[in-house]
A and B are shown apart, each in its own frame.
Chain A
Amino acid sequence: MPERTVSVASSIGLHARPAALFSQAAAKAGVPVTITNAAGKTVNAASILGVLSLGVDHGDQVTIAADGEGADAALDILAQLLGRDLDKE
């Protein structure tokens, strides 16, 4: 399954605004996307509660994965999103 591992650039970590923006983007990806934290917990990336439950801080590595048509393109967009400081945008 295609996946990308990235470190989270948002200075406040993946919660609040960055988590909301990331989940919204994942929901629009067209394919189911999962996100896994460094501890190995995997959740549905389109669920804000799921993403919040991972407790991802600034600089933590996460792995996003998706399968199906367009999975690679969707992951590229989401990985790029995680690599930006979403709280400043």
Chain B
Amino acid sequence: MARKPAPALAGLLAVESLRLGQSAVDRDDAIRQVGAALRDSGAVDDSYVEAMLERERSVSTYVGEGIAIPHATFAGSDAVRRDALAIVQFPAGVDWDGHDVRVCVGIAAQGNGHIALLSQLATVLLARDNAATLCAATSPQQVLGLLRPKHSK
């Protein structure tokens, strides 16, 4: 890969940005919670959360397997202080335009860092059972275990 190596996913997830067993009344509430999880770690400004909501109205970030990956586009990049991930789990599910979402993974990246970050994240989620494990995780260790590369290819 000629591009700059993507940072390890686990290292981008601050302790305060991982929230298991939450509940949300609707999609926007879920996005606000994910945005707050990013903001509380100091990764983004408040305006990033609004940019996430706006982006979601334009096109859904539901990616299948019960997972949505809300994030802002370039318009929101100025509000990003450092690359980060947030994971908020909703065991009772959230109605996401007709899809049942159990986990929201919020991402914030500077410049076009979204691409490498999304690629890494999607690769992890595609690997066998990882998405289901994330939806059912009951401890932070389980989640961090998924995000740590077993081996690089």
Contacts and interface: CB of A to CB of B under 8 A. Distances in A.
B119 A52 contact: yes
Interface residues of A, number: 21
B114 A49 contact: no
Interface stretch (A9-17, A28-36, A72-80): A9-17
Nearest to B74: A12
Given A15-B118, A21-B59, A57 B1 contact: no
A53 B123 contact: yes
Interface of A: 12-13, 15-17, 20-21, 39, 43, 47-57, 87
Interface of B: 1, 3, 55, 58-65, 71, 73-74, 112, 114-116, 118-123, 125-126
The 8 closest A-B pairs by CB, nearest first: A55-B119, A52-B122, A53-B122, A53-B123, A17-B59, A49-B122, A48-B63, A52-B118
